[in-house]
Amino acid sequence: MADPLFDIASQPIFRKGRVHVKEMKFNMFWKKTNKQKLIDLWGKAKEHCFDFDRIGYYHRQRDKNSAFQVISEQIIKDIDFYRLFTFVDRTHSSIGQQFLYSKLLTMGKMFEFDEQETLCSLFHKDLNKRLKTQILLSQLNQDEAYYVSSLFLEEFIKQPKYFPFLVAMSLLGFASIISVFFFSSLWILLVGVFSLNMFLHYLNKKHTYMYSDSIPQLCILINCVKGLLALELPVFSSKETNRAVGSLDVLKNKLQIFNFEANRQIDAMVKGMFAEFMYVVFEYLKIQLLLEPLLVFSTLKQLEKKKEDIKKLYEFIGTIDCAMSISSLRYGLKKFCIPKISNEIKTFVCKDIYHPLVKDCIQNSITLDNKSILLTGSNMSGKTTFIRSIAINALFAQTINTCFAAGMCLPPMRIYSAIRISDDVFSGKSYYFEEVQTINTLIKESHANIKSLFLLDEIFKGTNTIERIAAGKAVLSHLCKNENIVFVSTHDIELTDLLKNEYELFHFTEDVRDNTVHFDYKLKEGKLKTRNAIRILEINGYPKDIIAEAKALSDKAIQINMGNTDR
């Protein structure tokens, strides 16, 4: 007995219209995949290239004015967002991929995830419905589907001023065909009209090509949404989506003008020479009657009024595919949690938090109550990775309700960072100037009446020691006001004494033994007391005179510092 999951006739989207074309497209897809493959890939990251220019198009163009926060380019760079996205993305459609990308970079105001969690639970428990959904979504996995969002994000081209002339030439073309049957001598008129209309036809061909990617994918989108609606998934917008489908479905025949070449190629494979002959006849009629430009402008005019309906279908697909991706991501993780986010929460708690891109990452826990954190430790000890882990988990908690930890509890927080800063050779800006501007942005954001999370690595390392410590202390004291939380790493031990009343002190350390440096990457409370920098130089074969002088200068500096502290 045939499995209804893979029985074409059982799929509502294949029942109407040109069945043989849709069935063939489905079969061509089905030969490339199967149920077991979908099951085997569940929980695993994709293994193909990512075109972030096209993936990011929807996010760049969409209206984000109502967002709680749109993640900045600085944070994208600081947390290696593009690498993170390739790990997190388990979507099955290009639309879902765009939607997930924007979701991860845009925190909403309400932090409501009920719909997402309902879908995630369904996909986790109901294998049959999950597989049906995956197959339907995969119809939109072509590169051309990235352009569907342009249909509601951009203005359509307007009818040219000479459009009435096109209408007149179309009528003349029809009249010349009819007249030849009665007056054979008028074939000259037929040829003349055909020549002029051919010029007008190809002059306007560019308008068809402009939408030759997006509008054919819109037709697939409509069919895909119909199939998903038939599955009765628990999507809150189903009623509105049903209405939008009905509104757009009446245009499907007109939309086929943009997909004629693709359908012609499939027909040719099915029917051979007869299909080619019919194509030639139809192409002649299109030119003689100027059908293509007239239909194109007529269709675009109608689509202009249905942008909200297109957007509704796009978001419907995006919502389902994102939930599918998140469910798959969670399944593939050894450890994850659903965070607690509430305005009533005053503490910032992370239990067994880790960085998802670091293999066998050491997990750390921390609890903050109206305090910030000052981290010390040598290079490679784990400071920056820990700070990035905090940033990633705070972001993912508020965008996809998923954390790489055993538990996480936090209030709604905007996130700002200054971790990876570089000089700008082309604009002539030095490293220090770039750092000053970046941190100044953080200072301005700290004045907002919204709790913020600030993450900094080695503040003001682009300047001299005395001014770095002085400016660093002043800035860090300023940032942690207004209930803001700051995570900052530093090599300047002096800051631990200057900020001990405002910051909790934590450190990472290493153990030098048997001429080898060992890191445990475990977060430890208190001030760093060991100094191994010169010892590490020694075990790496630096000349003895350099080591001796460095030790002497270091001991002298420590004695002077202790004397200043006593006074």
Residue 315 pLDDT: 97
Kindly tell me the burial class for residue 126, based on how many C-beta atoms sit within 10 Å of its own C-beta (0-12, 13-18, 19 or more).
Answer: middle
Residue 30 pLDDT: 47
Q: Which of 489, 474, 487, 462 is nearest to 410 (CA)?
A: 487
User: Could you tell me where the DSSP H helices lie in 363-464?
Assistant: 383-399, 431-445
Beta strand pairing status for 414-418 and 340-341? unpaired
Residue 420 pLDDT: 85
Residue 20 pLDDT: 40
d(CA 390, CA 457): 13
CB 287 within 8 A of CB 197: yes
Residue 417 pLDDT: 95
Number of DSSP helices (H) and strands (E) in the chain, helices first:
26, 14
Residue 259 pLDDT: 66
CB 29 within 8 A of CB 140: no
| H or E element that contains 376 | strand 372-376
Residue 24 pLDDT: 46
Which residue has 């932090």 as its token pair? 111
Q: Which of 453, 480, 458, 446 is nearest to 371 (CA)?
A: 480
Measured between its terminal Cα atoms, the distance across the chain in Å is 90
CB 356 within 8 A of CB 155: no
Helix, strand, coil proportions of the chain in percent (round to 5)? 60, 10, 30
The two tokens of residue 279 are 């194509």
Per-residue tens of pLDDT for the chain, all 567 residues: 334 333 333 333 333 333 344 444 444 454 445 788 899 999 999 988 899 999 999 999 999 999 999 999 999 999 999 999 999 999 999 999 999 999 999 998 877 899 999 999 999 999 999 999 999 999 999 999 999 999 999 999 888 888 899 999 989 888 888 888 887 777 888 888 889 989 988 888 888 788 888 988 999 999 999 999 999 999 988 899 999 999 998 887 777 766 654 454 444 444 566 666 776 777 888 888 888 888 888 888 989 999 999 999 999 999 999 999 999 999 999 999 999 999 888 899 999 999 999 999 999 999 998 899 999 988 788 899 999 999 999 999 999 999 999 999 999 999 999 998 775 655 556 778 888 899 999 999 999 889 999 999 988 887 788 888 999 999 999 999 988 999 999 988 889 889 988 999 999 987 777 777 778 899 999 887 766 677 777 777 788 888 788 778 777 766 665 555 444
For the sheet containing 364-369, what is the strand order? 340-341, 407-410, 347-353, 364-369
Cα-flanking dihedrals φ and ψ of residue 515, to 5°? 60, 30
Q: Which of 444, 453, 441 is nearest to 480 (CA)?
A: 453
**418: β partners:** 456
